Structure 1
Amino acid sequence: MQKLVFLFIFFSALCCSQQETQQITATLKDSTKLKAKHIFGIDTFNTLYYTSENNSFHKKTKDTTITYANFQLGEITTANAFNPLKINLFYRDFNTVVVLDNRLAEISKVDFNTIQPYKNVSFVSSGFDNTLWLFNQDFQYLELYDYKTQKVKLRTVPVQSIVLDLKSDYNYCYLLTENYLYVYNYFGSLIQKLKNTGYESLAFSKAHLILKKENNLYLLEKNKTEIKRITHPKMLINQFLVTNETVYIYDEKLLRYYQLKIE
Protein backbone atom coordinates (compact mmCIF):
# COMPACT_ATOMS: atom_id res chain seq x y z
CA MET A 1 0.00 0.00 0.00
CA GLN A 2 2.85 2.37 0.91
CA LYS A 3 4.47 1.68 -2.48
CA LEU A 4 1.26 2.62 -4.27
CA VAL A 5 1.03 5.86 -2.32
CA PHE A 6 4.66 6.62 -3.14
CA LEU A 7 4.12 5.96 -6.85
CA PHE A 8 1.02 8.19 -6.87
CA ILE A 9 2.93 11.06 -5.22
CA PHE A 10 5.86 10.57 -7.61
CA PHE A 11 3.76 10.72 -10.77
CA SER A 12 1.72 13.66 -9.45
CA ALA A 13 4.91 15.59 -8.78
CA LEU A 14 6.23 14.66 -12.22
CA CYS A 15 3.05 15.93 -13.94
CA CYS A 16 3.16 19.20 -11.98
CA SER A 17 6.83 19.64 -12.88
CA GLN A 18 6.06 19.14 -16.57
CA GLN A 19 3.26 21.71 -16.43
CA GLU A 20 5.53 24.24 -14.68
CA THR A 21 8.27 23.81 -17.30
CA GLN A 22 5.92 24.10 -20.28
CA GLN A 23 7.44 26.57 -22.74
CA ILE A 24 5.51 28.87 -25.06
CA THR A 25 7.60 30.47 -27.76
CA ALA A 26 6.96 32.83 -30.68
CA THR A 27 9.44 32.35 -33.53
CA LEU A 28 9.75 34.78 -36.43
CA LYS A 29 8.75 33.10 -39.69
CA ASP A 30 8.06 35.99 -42.07
CA SER A 31 7.55 39.74 -42.45
CA THR A 32 6.10 42.20 -44.90
CA LYS A 33 6.35 45.96 -45.41
CA LEU A 34 3.15 47.84 -44.69
CA LYS A 35 2.17 51.46 -44.14
CA ALA A 36 -0.93 51.58 -41.94
CA LYS A 37 -2.35 53.67 -39.14
CA HIS A 38 -3.92 50.71 -37.39
CA ILE A 39 -4.26 47.02 -38.24
CA PHE A 40 -7.53 45.45 -37.13
CA GLY A 41 -7.48 41.93 -38.53
CA ILE A 42 -5.76 39.22 -40.56
CA ASP A 43 -7.62 36.07 -41.55
CA THR A 44 -6.38 32.58 -42.43
CA PHE A 45 -6.09 33.61 -46.11
CA ASN A 46 -3.83 36.56 -45.15
CA THR A 47 -6.55 39.07 -45.99
CA LEU A 48 -5.56 42.23 -44.15
CA TYR A 49 -7.94 44.80 -42.63
CA TYR A 50 -6.45 48.15 -41.69
CA THR A 51 -6.84 51.92 -41.73
CA SER A 52 -4.58 54.46 -43.43
CA GLU A 53 -3.56 57.90 -42.24
CA ASN A 54 -6.62 59.53 -43.83
CA ASN A 55 -8.92 57.21 -41.78
CA SER A 56 -9.98 55.13 -44.77
CA PHE A 57 -10.63 51.45 -44.08
CA HIS A 58 -8.94 48.91 -46.37
CA LYS A 59 -9.38 45.23 -47.15
CA LYS A 60 -6.21 43.96 -48.82
CA THR A 61 -5.87 40.52 -50.42
CA LYS A 62 -3.00 39.14 -52.48
CA ASP A 63 -4.43 40.61 -55.69
CA THR A 64 -6.64 43.56 -54.76
CA THR A 65 -7.29 46.28 -52.21
CA ILE A 66 -10.75 47.78 -51.67
CA THR A 67 -11.50 50.82 -49.56
CA TYR A 68 -14.32 52.30 -47.49
CA ALA A 69 -14.35 55.88 -46.22
CA ASN A 70 -16.82 57.93 -44.22
CA PHE A 71 -15.04 61.15 -43.35
CA GLN A 72 -18.14 62.67 -41.75
CA LEU A 73 -17.76 60.23 -38.86
CA GLY A 74 -14.11 60.99 -38.23
CA GLU A 75 -11.61 58.42 -36.99
CA ILE A 76 -12.36 54.69 -36.79
CA THR A 77 -11.84 53.66 -33.17
CA THR A 78 -12.07 49.89 -33.68
CA ALA A 79 -12.96 47.50 -36.48
CA ASN A 80 -13.96 43.85 -36.23
CA ALA A 81 -13.70 41.55 -39.24
CA PHE A 82 -14.24 38.26 -37.42
CA ASN A 83 -17.27 37.77 -39.67
CA PRO A 84 -16.02 39.00 -43.09
CA LEU A 85 -19.61 39.27 -44.34
CA LYS A 86 -20.55 41.68 -41.52
CA ILE A 87 -17.55 43.85 -40.70
CA ASN A 88 -18.29 46.47 -38.07
CA LEU A 89 -16.52 49.83 -37.76
CA PHE A 90 -16.93 51.78 -34.53
CA TYR A 91 -16.65 55.57 -34.56
CA ARG A 92 -16.53 56.40 -30.87
CA ASP A 93 -16.50 60.20 -31.25
CA PHE A 94 -19.86 59.98 -33.03
CA ASN A 95 -21.22 57.04 -30.98
CA THR A 96 -21.92 55.19 -34.23
CA VAL A 97 -21.30 51.75 -35.77
CA VAL A 98 -21.24 51.05 -39.52
CA VAL A 99 -21.66 47.44 -40.69
CA LEU A 100 -20.09 46.49 -44.05
CA ASP A 101 -20.34 43.45 -46.30
CA ASN A 102 -17.37 41.64 -47.83
CA ARG A 103 -17.15 44.27 -50.61
CA LEU A 104 -17.10 47.05 -47.98
CA ALA A 105 -20.56 48.26 -48.93
CA GLU A 106 -22.74 49.55 -46.10
CA ILE A 107 -25.30 47.09 -44.72
CA SER A 108 -26.37 49.07 -41.66
CA LYS A 109 -25.58 52.26 -39.83
CA VAL A 110 -26.32 52.34 -36.10
CA ASP A 111 -26.38 55.79 -34.53
CA PHE A 112 -26.70 55.27 -30.78
CA ASN A 113 -27.42 58.97 -30.28
CA THR A 114 -30.82 58.54 -31.94
CA ILE A 115 -31.78 55.22 -30.35
CA GLN A 116 -34.15 55.18 -27.41
CA PRO A 117 -33.10 54.77 -24.73
CA TYR A 118 -29.87 56.60 -25.54
CA LYS A 119 -26.68 54.53 -25.31
CA ASN A 120 -23.27 55.97 -24.55
CA VAL A 121 -21.07 53.25 -26.07
CA SER A 122 -17.32 53.03 -25.44
CA PHE A 123 -16.45 49.57 -26.86
CA VAL A 124 -17.97 47.42 -29.64
CA SER A 125 -17.30 43.89 -30.87
CA SER A 126 -19.09 41.32 -33.05
CA GLY A 127 -21.65 38.81 -31.80
CA PHE A 128 -23.63 36.09 -33.56
CA ASP A 129 -26.08 36.78 -36.41
CA ASN A 130 -26.99 40.49 -36.38
CA THR A 131 -25.76 41.23 -32.87
CA LEU A 132 -23.04 43.43 -31.41
CA TRP A 133 -21.46 43.33 -27.98
CA LEU A 134 -21.60 46.89 -26.61
CA PHE A 135 -20.12 48.30 -23.44
CA ASN A 136 -22.54 50.86 -22.04
CA GLN A 137 -20.34 53.51 -20.47
CA ASP A 138 -23.11 55.10 -18.40
CA PHE A 139 -24.25 51.88 -16.75
CA GLN A 140 -20.92 50.00 -16.88
CA TYR A 141 -22.30 46.78 -18.33
CA LEU A 142 -22.16 44.77 -21.53
CA GLU A 143 -25.19 44.54 -23.80
CA LEU A 144 -25.78 42.11 -26.64
CA TYR A 145 -27.61 44.31 -29.12
CA ASP A 146 -29.47 43.22 -32.27
CA TYR A 147 -29.01 46.11 -34.71
CA LYS A 148 -31.67 44.78 -37.09
CA THR A 149 -34.50 44.65 -34.55
CA GLN A 150 -32.95 47.40 -32.35
CA LYS A 151 -33.49 45.17 -29.32
CA VAL A 152 -31.18 44.35 -26.40
CA LYS A 153 -30.98 40.57 -26.08
CA LEU A 154 -29.16 40.55 -22.74
CA ARG A 155 -27.22 42.60 -20.22
CA THR A 156 -24.43 41.54 -17.91
CA VAL A 157 -23.85 42.54 -14.30
CA PRO A 158 -22.06 45.94 -14.14
CA VAL A 159 -18.28 45.93 -13.66
CA GLN A 160 -16.53 48.07 -11.09
CA SER A 161 -13.35 49.16 -12.87
CA ILE A 162 -12.23 50.98 -16.01
CA VAL A 163 -12.55 48.95 -19.22
CA LEU A 164 -9.40 48.57 -21.31
CA ASP A 165 -10.39 46.27 -24.18
CA LEU A 166 -13.16 44.10 -25.62
CA LYS A 167 -12.93 41.17 -28.07
CA SER A 168 -15.43 38.48 -29.07
CA ASP A 169 -16.54 35.81 -31.53
CA TYR A 170 -19.79 33.84 -31.97
CA ASN A 171 -19.36 31.98 -28.68
CA TYR A 172 -17.33 34.09 -26.26
CA CYS A 173 -16.80 37.68 -25.21
CA TYR A 174 -13.64 38.84 -23.40
CA LEU A 175 -13.79 42.07 -21.38
CA LEU A 176 -10.51 43.36 -19.98
CA THR A 177 -10.72 45.88 -17.14
CA GLU A 178 -8.06 47.37 -14.89
CA ASN A 179 -8.93 44.82 -12.18
CA TYR A 180 -10.10 41.67 -13.98
CA LEU A 181 -10.42 39.77 -17.22
CA TYR A 182 -14.05 38.68 -17.64
CA VAL A 183 -15.06 35.84 -19.97
CA TYR A 184 -18.74 35.54 -21.00
CA ASN A 185 -20.53 32.99 -23.15
CA TYR A 186 -23.08 33.98 -25.81
CA PHE A 187 -25.86 33.75 -23.20
CA GLY A 188 -24.16 36.54 -21.25
CA SER A 189 -23.20 34.21 -18.40
CA LEU A 190 -19.88 34.90 -16.68
CA ILE A 191 -17.83 31.71 -17.06
CA GLN A 192 -14.42 32.99 -15.97
CA LYS A 193 -13.01 35.91 -13.96
CA LEU A 194 -9.23 36.28 -13.72
CA LYS A 195 -7.21 38.90 -11.85
CA ASN A 196 -5.56 41.49 -14.08
CA THR A 197 -1.94 41.83 -13.01
CA GLY A 198 -1.06 44.65 -15.39
CA TYR A 199 -2.38 43.54 -18.77
CA GLU A 200 -3.22 46.46 -21.07
CA SER A 201 -4.88 44.98 -24.16
CA LEU A 202 -5.76 41.69 -25.79
CA ALA A 203 -6.09 39.84 -29.10
CA PHE A 204 -8.21 36.77 -29.68
CA SER A 205 -8.63 33.90 -32.14
CA LYS A 206 -10.47 30.59 -32.00
CA ALA A 207 -7.69 28.83 -30.15
CA HIS A 208 -6.01 31.39 -27.92
CA LEU A 209 -6.25 34.70 -26.12
CA ILE A 210 -3.10 36.85 -26.19
CA LEU A 211 -2.60 39.58 -23.59
CA LYS A 212 -0.05 42.39 -23.62
CA LYS A 213 1.75 43.76 -20.58
CA GLU A 214 4.32 46.46 -21.38
CA ASN A 215 6.38 44.86 -24.20
CA ASN A 216 5.64 41.26 -23.28
CA LEU A 217 2.94 38.93 -24.56
CA TYR A 218 1.07 36.29 -22.55
CA LEU A 219 -1.13 33.37 -23.56
CA LEU A 220 -4.39 32.10 -22.11
CA GLU A 221 -5.24 28.80 -23.77
CA LYS A 222 -8.85 27.94 -24.48
CA ASN A 223 -10.64 26.44 -21.45
CA LYS A 224 -7.60 27.09 -19.24
CA THR A 225 -7.19 29.39 -16.24
CA GLU A 226 -3.43 29.98 -16.15
CA ILE A 227 -1.96 32.89 -18.10
CA LYS A 228 1.57 32.08 -19.29
CA ARG A 229 4.31 34.29 -20.65
CA ILE A 230 5.35 33.86 -24.29
CA THR A 231 9.07 33.80 -25.01
CA HIS A 232 9.72 36.11 -27.97
CA PRO A 233 12.41 38.54 -29.18
CA LYS A 234 12.62 41.84 -27.33
CA MET A 235 10.89 44.60 -29.26
CA LEU A 236 8.54 47.54 -29.00
CA ILE A 237 5.01 46.12 -29.42
CA ASN A 238 2.69 48.83 -30.71
CA GLN A 239 0.02 46.63 -32.31
CA PHE A 240 -0.50 42.88 -32.21
CA LEU A 241 -2.99 40.32 -33.52
CA VAL A 242 -3.43 36.57 -33.40
CA THR A 243 -4.91 34.17 -35.97
CA ASN A 244 -4.87 30.49 -35.04
CA GLU A 245 -1.20 29.72 -34.21
CA THR A 246 0.26 32.92 -35.67
CA VAL A 247 0.95 36.15 -33.77
CA TYR A 248 1.32 39.34 -35.83
CA ILE A 249 3.28 42.31 -34.49
CA TYR A 250 3.27 45.65 -36.29
CA ASP A 251 5.72 48.53 -35.70
CA GLU A 252 4.34 51.11 -38.19
CA LYS A 253 6.67 49.98 -40.96
CA LEU A 254 6.91 46.21 -40.83
CA LEU A 255 4.36 43.50 -40.09
CA ARG A 256 6.08 40.46 -38.58
CA TYR A 257 4.64 36.94 -38.42
CA TYR A 258 5.51 34.75 -35.42
CA GLN A 259 4.70 31.06 -35.10
CA LEU A 260 3.33 30.09 -31.68
CA LYS A 261 4.65 26.84 -30.27
CA ILE A 262 3.56 25.24 -27.00
CA GLU A 263 5.83 22.47 -25.71
Structure 2
Amino acid sequence: MVNTIRYTFVSLLVFFSTFSILSAQDDSLFTLQKNIPGNISSFAVDNLENLYILNSSGQLKKLTEKGDSLAVFNNVKKYGEATLIDVSNPLKILLYYRDFSTVVVLDRLLNMRTAIDLRKTDILQAGTVALSYDSKIWVYDEVQNKLKKIDDEGKLLLETPDFRLLFNQTAQPQNIFDQDKLVYLYDSIQGFFVFDYYGALKNKILITKWKHVRIVGKYIYGTDGAFIYRYNITTFRYDKWPVPAAIAGARKIYFTANRLYVLNDQGINVYGFR
Protein backbone atom coordinates (compact mmCIF):
# COMPACT_ATOMS: atom_id res chain seq x y z
CA MET A 1 0.00 0.00 0.00
CA VAL A 2 1.31 3.41 -0.89
CA ASN A 3 1.19 5.99 1.87
CA THR A 4 3.03 8.82 0.17
CA ILE A 5 2.95 10.34 -3.26
CA ARG A 6 4.85 13.03 -5.07
CA TYR A 7 2.97 16.30 -4.77
CA THR A 8 4.96 18.09 -7.42
CA PHE A 9 4.48 17.08 -10.98
CA VAL A 10 5.15 18.22 -14.51
CA SER A 11 2.11 19.75 -16.17
CA LEU A 12 2.39 18.96 -19.82
CA LEU A 13 1.79 22.36 -21.34
CA VAL A 14 3.59 21.72 -24.62
CA PHE A 15 0.25 20.73 -26.10
CA PHE A 16 0.58 22.88 -29.19
CA SER A 17 4.29 22.27 -29.79
CA THR A 18 3.76 20.65 -33.18
CA PHE A 19 0.51 20.87 -35.08
CA SER A 20 -0.72 19.53 -38.41
CA ILE A 21 -4.05 19.25 -40.15
CA LEU A 22 -4.68 16.72 -42.90
CA SER A 23 -7.67 16.83 -45.20
CA ALA A 24 -10.38 14.29 -44.54
CA GLN A 25 -10.73 14.04 -48.32
CA ASP A 26 -7.38 12.22 -48.49
CA ASP A 27 -8.48 8.69 -49.40
CA SER A 28 -5.27 7.25 -47.95
CA LEU A 29 -6.17 8.59 -44.50
CA PHE A 30 -9.54 6.87 -43.96
CA THR A 31 -10.23 3.89 -46.21
CA LEU A 32 -13.26 1.70 -45.58
CA GLN A 33 -12.02 -1.89 -45.38
CA LYS A 34 -15.10 -3.80 -44.26
CA ASN A 35 -18.48 -3.65 -42.56
CA ILE A 36 -19.77 -5.88 -39.76
CA PRO A 37 -23.58 -5.55 -39.69
CA GLY A 38 -25.69 -6.19 -36.64
CA ASN A 39 -27.52 -4.72 -33.68
CA ILE A 40 -24.36 -4.09 -31.67
CA SER A 41 -24.33 -2.25 -28.36
CA SER A 42 -20.55 -2.17 -27.76
CA PHE A 43 -17.28 -3.76 -28.83
CA ALA A 44 -13.51 -3.85 -28.28
CA VAL A 45 -10.45 -4.97 -30.25
CA ASP A 46 -7.41 -6.77 -28.83
CA ASN A 47 -3.80 -6.42 -29.98
CA LEU A 48 -4.23 -9.39 -32.33
CA GLU A 49 -7.11 -7.55 -34.06
CA ASN A 50 -9.66 -10.00 -32.67
CA LEU A 51 -13.02 -8.29 -32.34
CA TYR A 52 -15.27 -8.67 -29.28
CA ILE A 53 -18.87 -7.77 -30.03
CA LEU A 54 -21.55 -7.22 -27.41
CA ASN A 55 -24.96 -7.39 -29.07
CA SER A 56 -28.32 -6.08 -27.92
CA SER A 57 -29.43 -9.51 -26.68
CA GLY A 58 -26.56 -9.62 -24.18
CA GLN A 59 -24.27 -12.01 -26.04
CA LEU A 60 -20.52 -11.40 -26.21
CA LYS A 61 -18.89 -12.89 -29.29
CA LYS A 62 -15.20 -13.08 -30.19
CA LEU A 63 -14.33 -12.87 -33.89
CA THR A 64 -11.04 -13.19 -35.72
CA GLU A 65 -9.78 -10.39 -37.94
CA LYS A 66 -11.34 -12.29 -40.87
CA GLY A 67 -14.70 -12.51 -39.13
CA ASP A 68 -14.59 -16.15 -38.03
CA SER A 69 -16.26 -16.89 -34.69
CA LEU A 70 -13.86 -18.04 -31.95
CA ALA A 71 -15.97 -18.02 -28.81
CA VAL A 72 -19.27 -16.90 -27.28
CA PHE A 73 -20.27 -15.80 -23.77
CA ASN A 74 -24.02 -15.82 -23.10
CA ASN A 75 -24.28 -14.83 -19.44
CA VAL A 76 -23.68 -11.15 -20.00
CA LYS A 77 -27.18 -10.05 -18.86
CA LYS A 78 -26.84 -11.73 -15.47
CA TYR A 79 -25.36 -8.53 -14.00
CA GLY A 80 -27.27 -6.05 -16.14
CA GLU A 81 -25.66 -4.07 -18.95
CA ALA A 82 -21.89 -4.31 -19.35
CA THR A 83 -20.47 -0.79 -19.38
CA LEU A 84 -16.86 -1.68 -20.22
CA ILE A 85 -14.94 -4.37 -22.11
CA ASP A 86 -11.18 -4.56 -21.51
CA VAL A 87 -9.32 -6.83 -23.96
CA SER A 88 -5.83 -5.41 -23.49
CA ASN A 89 -4.72 -8.95 -22.60
CA PRO A 90 -6.39 -11.49 -24.97
CA LEU A 91 -5.84 -14.21 -22.37
CA LYS A 92 -7.82 -12.38 -19.70
CA ILE A 93 -10.92 -10.39 -20.60
CA LEU A 94 -12.66 -7.99 -18.22
CA LEU A 95 -16.34 -7.07 -18.33
CA TYR A 96 -17.43 -4.33 -15.94
CA TYR A 97 -21.03 -3.87 -14.81
CA ARG A 98 -21.16 -0.49 -13.15
CA ASP A 99 -24.76 -0.75 -11.93
CA PHE A 100 -23.87 -3.90 -9.97
CA SER A 101 -20.25 -2.87 -9.17
CA THR A 102 -19.16 -6.23 -10.53
CA VAL A 103 -16.14 -7.24 -12.60
CA VAL A 104 -16.43 -10.48 -14.56
CA VAL A 105 -13.16 -12.12 -15.64
CA LEU A 106 -13.16 -14.36 -18.73
CA ASP A 107 -10.44 -16.50 -20.30
CA ARG A 108 -9.42 -16.36 -23.98
CA LEU A 109 -12.34 -18.63 -24.94
CA LEU A 110 -14.78 -16.44 -22.98
CA ASN A 111 -15.26 -18.96 -20.21
CA MET A 112 -15.94 -17.28 -16.86
CA ARG A 113 -13.01 -17.45 -14.46
CA THR A 114 -14.44 -15.38 -11.64
CA ALA A 115 -16.80 -12.53 -10.75
CA ILE A 116 -15.71 -9.83 -8.30
CA ASP A 117 -18.36 -7.92 -6.37
CA LEU A 118 -16.45 -4.71 -5.62
CA ARG A 119 -18.88 -3.79 -2.84
CA LYS A 120 -17.57 -6.75 -0.86
CA THR A 121 -14.05 -5.29 -1.16
CA ASP A 122 -15.15 -1.95 0.38
CA ILE A 123 -15.35 -0.28 -3.04
CA LEU A 124 -18.93 0.94 -3.03
CA GLN A 125 -18.83 2.94 -6.24
CA ALA A 126 -16.21 2.29 -8.92
CA GLY A 127 -16.03 4.78 -11.76
CA THR A 128 -14.02 2.60 -14.10
CA VAL A 129 -11.69 -0.39 -14.13
CA ALA A 130 -8.83 -1.74 -16.26
CA LEU A 131 -6.51 -4.72 -16.44
CA SER A 132 -2.98 -4.10 -15.15
CA TYR A 133 0.27 -5.21 -16.80
CA ASP A 134 0.57 -8.10 -14.31
CA SER A 135 -3.02 -9.29 -14.83
CA LYS A 136 -4.36 -7.60 -11.71
CA ILE A 137 -7.15 -5.01 -11.81
CA TRP A 138 -7.02 -1.23 -11.51
CA VAL A 139 -10.14 0.37 -10.00
CA TYR A 140 -10.99 4.00 -9.35
CA ASP A 141 -12.96 4.25 -6.09
CA GLU A 142 -15.26 7.26 -6.46
CA VAL A 143 -16.28 7.28 -2.80
CA GLN A 144 -12.75 7.28 -1.38
CA ASN A 145 -11.33 9.15 -4.41
CA LYS A 146 -8.44 6.72 -4.81
CA LEU A 147 -6.88 4.63 -7.53
CA LYS A 148 -6.70 1.06 -6.23
CA LYS A 149 -5.19 -2.19 -7.43
CA ILE A 150 -6.84 -5.49 -6.51
CA ASP A 151 -6.38 -9.14 -7.38
CA ASP A 152 -8.96 -11.62 -8.71
CA GLU A 153 -10.23 -12.26 -5.19
CA GLY A 154 -10.78 -8.57 -4.55
CA LYS A 155 -7.82 -8.24 -2.20
CA LEU A 156 -6.39 -4.71 -2.05
CA LEU A 157 -2.78 -4.64 -3.25
CA LEU A 158 -2.10 -0.89 -3.26
CA GLU A 159 -3.83 2.46 -3.38
CA THR A 160 -3.01 6.11 -3.87
CA PRO A 161 -3.82 8.83 -1.36
CA ASP A 162 -7.18 10.57 -1.60
CA PHE A 163 -7.22 12.73 -4.74
CA ARG A 164 -8.77 15.54 -2.68
CA LEU A 165 -5.51 15.75 -0.73
CA LEU A 166 -3.47 15.85 -3.93
CA PHE A 167 -5.50 18.28 -6.00
CA ASN A 168 -7.99 19.90 -3.59
CA GLN A 169 -10.79 18.43 -5.68
CA THR A 170 -12.27 15.12 -6.68
CA ALA A 171 -11.71 13.37 -9.99
CA GLN A 172 -14.15 11.42 -12.13
CA PRO A 173 -12.04 9.44 -14.59
CA GLN A 174 -13.93 7.74 -17.40
CA ASN A 175 -10.99 5.57 -18.46
CA ILE A 176 -7.93 3.84 -17.04
CA PHE A 177 -5.06 2.75 -19.29
CA ASP A 178 -2.04 0.67 -18.29
CA GLN A 179 0.63 1.50 -20.86
CA ASP A 180 4.44 1.25 -20.92
CA LYS A 181 4.95 1.08 -17.13
CA LEU A 182 2.54 3.94 -16.44
CA VAL A 183 -1.13 4.15 -15.46
CA TYR A 184 -3.24 6.87 -17.10
CA LEU A 185 -6.55 8.04 -15.61
CA TYR A 186 -8.56 10.18 -18.00
CA ASP A 187 -11.00 12.75 -16.64
CA SER A 188 -12.51 14.65 -19.57
CA ILE A 189 -12.74 17.81 -17.45
CA GLN A 190 -9.30 17.75 -15.82
CA GLY A 191 -7.17 15.72 -18.23
CA PHE A 192 -4.86 12.74 -17.69
CA PHE A 193 -3.43 11.85 -14.29
CA VAL A 194 -0.33 9.71 -14.83
CA PHE A 195 0.98 7.35 -12.13
CA ASP A 196 3.73 4.78 -11.94
CA TYR A 197 3.04 1.18 -10.96
CA TYR A 198 3.57 1.99 -7.27
CA GLY A 199 0.88 4.67 -7.19
CA ALA A 200 3.25 7.65 -7.32
CA LEU A 201 2.02 10.59 -9.38
CA LYS A 202 4.34 11.30 -12.30
CA ASN A 203 2.69 14.09 -14.26
CA LYS A 204 -0.53 15.47 -15.64
CA ILE A 205 -1.43 15.85 -19.32
CA LEU A 206 -3.79 18.74 -19.97
CA ILE A 207 -5.95 17.15 -22.66
CA THR A 208 -9.64 17.72 -21.99
CA LYS A 209 -13.06 17.29 -23.59
CA TRP A 210 -12.04 14.35 -25.74
CA LYS A 211 -14.31 11.35 -26.27
CA HIS A 212 -13.55 7.81 -27.41
CA VAL A 213 -10.11 8.13 -25.87
CA ARG A 214 -7.56 5.38 -26.44
CA ILE A 215 -3.83 5.01 -25.76
CA VAL A 216 -2.03 2.94 -28.37
CA GLY A 217 1.73 2.67 -27.95
CA LYS A 218 3.14 6.18 -27.75
CA TYR A 219 -0.07 7.86 -28.97
CA ILE A 220 -3.19 9.17 -27.30
CA TYR A 221 -6.19 9.23 -29.65
CA GLY A 222 -9.53 10.92 -29.22
CA THR A 223 -12.19 13.07 -30.83
CA ASP A 224 -14.42 15.99 -29.92
CA GLY A 225 -16.91 15.31 -32.70
CA ALA A 226 -15.40 17.82 -35.09
CA PHE A 227 -11.82 16.53 -35.22
CA ILE A 228 -9.89 13.32 -34.65
CA TYR A 229 -6.80 13.94 -32.53
CA ARG A 230 -3.51 12.12 -32.07
CA TYR A 231 -1.03 13.16 -29.40
CA ASN A 232 2.49 11.75 -29.21
CA ILE A 233 3.35 11.19 -25.55
CA THR A 234 7.08 11.09 -26.28
CA THR A 235 7.58 14.03 -28.66
CA PHE A 236 4.49 16.10 -27.67
CA ARG A 237 3.51 16.22 -31.35
CA TYR A 238 -0.18 17.01 -31.75
CA ASP A 239 -2.08 16.17 -34.97
CA LYS A 240 -5.72 16.57 -35.87
CA TRP A 241 -7.94 15.69 -38.81
CA PRO A 242 -11.49 16.81 -39.59
CA VAL A 243 -13.98 14.04 -38.85
CA PRO A 244 -15.29 12.60 -42.17
CA ALA A 245 -19.04 12.77 -42.66
CA ALA A 246 -19.26 8.96 -42.65
CA ILE A 247 -17.85 8.88 -39.10
CA ALA A 248 -19.69 11.87 -37.66
CA GLY A 249 -22.31 10.89 -35.09
CA ALA A 250 -20.74 7.50 -34.38
CA ARG A 251 -21.86 5.80 -31.18
CA LYS A 252 -18.36 4.51 -30.51
CA ILE A 253 -14.95 5.01 -32.12
CA TYR A 254 -12.11 2.65 -31.29
CA PHE A 255 -8.54 3.35 -32.35
CA THR A 256 -5.86 0.73 -32.94
CA ALA A 257 -2.37 1.19 -34.35
CA ASN A 258 -3.56 1.44 -37.95
CA ARG A 259 -7.32 1.01 -37.94
CA LEU A 260 -10.40 2.92 -36.94
CA TYR A 261 -13.45 0.94 -35.79
CA VAL A 262 -16.67 2.92 -35.91
CA LEU A 263 -19.97 1.76 -34.40
CA ASN A 264 -23.22 3.14 -35.79
CA ASP A 265 -26.83 1.94 -35.81
CA GLN A 266 -26.15 -0.46 -38.68
CA GLY A 267 -23.05 -2.13 -37.26
CA ILE A 268 -19.30 -1.58 -37.26
CA ASN A 269 -17.33 -0.01 -40.10
CA VAL A 270 -13.60 -0.72 -40.16
CA TYR A 271 -11.37 1.92 -41.72
CA GLY A 272 -7.71 1.90 -42.54
CA PHE A 273 -6.16 4.81 -40.69
CA ARG A 274 -2.79 6.45 -41.19
Q: TM-score, normalised by structure 2?
A: 0.77
Equivalent residue for 1:88, pick from 94, 107, 111? 94
Specify the alignment match of 2:6 in structure 1: none
CA distance in 2 between counterparts of 1:156 and 1:202 reads 25
CA distance in 2 between counterparts of 1:167 and 1:98 reads 17
Check conservation: 2:21, 2:241, Cα contact below 8 A: no
Specify the alignment match of 2:240 in structure 1: 229
Relative distance call for 1:127 and 1:41 in structure 2 (3 A) is: same
Match for 1:155: what amino acid? T
Report whether the alignment pairs 1:169 with 2:178: yes
Check conservation: 1:218, 1:228, Cα contact below 8 A: yes
CA distance in 1 between counterparts of 2:59 and 2:226 reads 28
Q: 1:20, CA displacement in angstroms?
A: 4.1
Q: 1:220, CA displacement in angstroms?
A: 1.5
Specify the alignment match of 1:125 in structure 2: 130
Relative distance call for 1:257 and 1:114 in structure 2 (3 A) is: same
Specify the alignment match of 1:245 in structure 2: 258
Aligned length: 243
Check conservation: 1:34, 1:252, Cα contact below 8 A: no
Report whether the alignment pairs 1:27 with 2:38: no
Specify the alignment match of 2:159 in structure 1: 154
Match for 1:73: what amino acid? Y
CA distance in 2 between counterparts of 1:167 and 1:221 reads 18
Deviations 1:193-246 (A, max 9, x none): 122442234122224221221343211223243543234413223201112122
Match for 2:149: what amino acid? L
Match for 2:178: what amino acid? D
Higher RCO (CA-CA < 8 Å; seq separation 6+): 2
CA distance in 2 between counterparts of 1:180 and 1:92 reads 22
Equivalent residue for 2:202, pick from 169, 191, 197? 191
Q: TM-score, normalised by structure 1?
A: 0.80
Q: Which is higher, the Rg of structure 1 or of structure 2?
A: 1
Relative distance call for 1:232 and 1:79 in structure 2 (3 A) is: same
Specify the alignment match of 1:53 in structure 2: 56
Relative distance call for 1:50 and 1:254 in structure 2 (3 A) is: closer
> 3-state SS of the aligned residue for 2:99?
helix
Q: 1:19, CA displacement in angstroms?
A: 4.1
Q: 1:176, CA displacement in angstroms?
A: 1.8
Equivalent residue for 1:111, pick from 104, 117, 121? 117
Specify the alignment match of 2:147 in structure 1: 142
Relative distance call for 1:70 and 1:201 in structure 2 (3 A) is: closer
CA distance in 2 between counterparts of 1:24 and 1:144 reads 42
Q: 1:155, CA displacement in angstroms?
A: 2.0
